[in-house]
Amino acid sequence: GFVVFATLVVIVSLILIFVVGPRHGQTNILVYITICSVIGALSVSCVKGLGIAIKELFAGKPVLQHPLAWILLLSLIVCVSTQINYLNRALDIFNTSLVTPIYYVFFTTSVLTCSAILFKEWQHMAADDIIGTFSGFLTIIVGIFLLHAFKDVHFTLANLPVSLRKDERAANGALLSAYDGFDHDEETSPCLGEIQAPESLSGRRNGSPAAF
């Protein structure tokens, strides 16, 4: 299955590079991103293979004598060079806020597909684990698109919805009216000393002891 998948990836990449790319690469953002993504699946597989080869090399096995290790190294160099080339072309032509999320989604999808075919770990996963994996992947995709879509947007009070602004103004108006009413009551209400002053004065004139 992996040999068939790798063959299809190489054929699709060559068609995109030599046929579709010169015609539509300057106008369609998906051409260069698809080239980077499908080749990225092979580059990740090559990295995993080289990691296993290095581990066996430290274990004392004659890995360097096997031609597969050198094939993986050469394939990794070619794949990474092609990815960098066409990713830079896409970034030069199109906006970075569009290239980055689309490339992440395409690249991660192709890598997951390649890993599922090569290692067959999906066959041993339960249904809830598969659903959880896809849910997490969709959550990451939505989050990346939202981050790149709103990274240049600055939220202020004027940008908030009208209902929120009305509620905030109503709350502030209620607080201000209550504060003004309290100040008005303090200014207009007579003091206790001013109310009792005439009675105390009249009592003192009549010689009443209660006045003192």
Question: Residues 95-149: pLDDT tens digits?
Answer: 887 888 888 888 988 888 888 888 777 777 788 888 888 888 888 888 877 777 7
- Number of independent structural domains in the chain: 1
Using the predicted structure, report yes or no on whether residue 192 has a pLDDT greater than 70: no
Distance of CA 172 to the CA centre of its chain: 35
173, part of any domain: no
10, part of any domain: yes
70, part of any domain: yes
Which residues form the domain of 89?
A: 1-20+28-154
Distance of CA 7 to the CA centre of its chain: 34
pLDDT score recorded for residue 126? 83
**What does the DSSP assignment read for 50-82?**
HHHHHHHHHTT---TTSHHHHHHHHHHHHHHHH
Let me know: does 35 contact 13? Beta carbons within 8 Å.
yes
51, part of any domain: yes
Nearest to 111 by CA among 68, 47, 53: 47
165, part of any domain: no
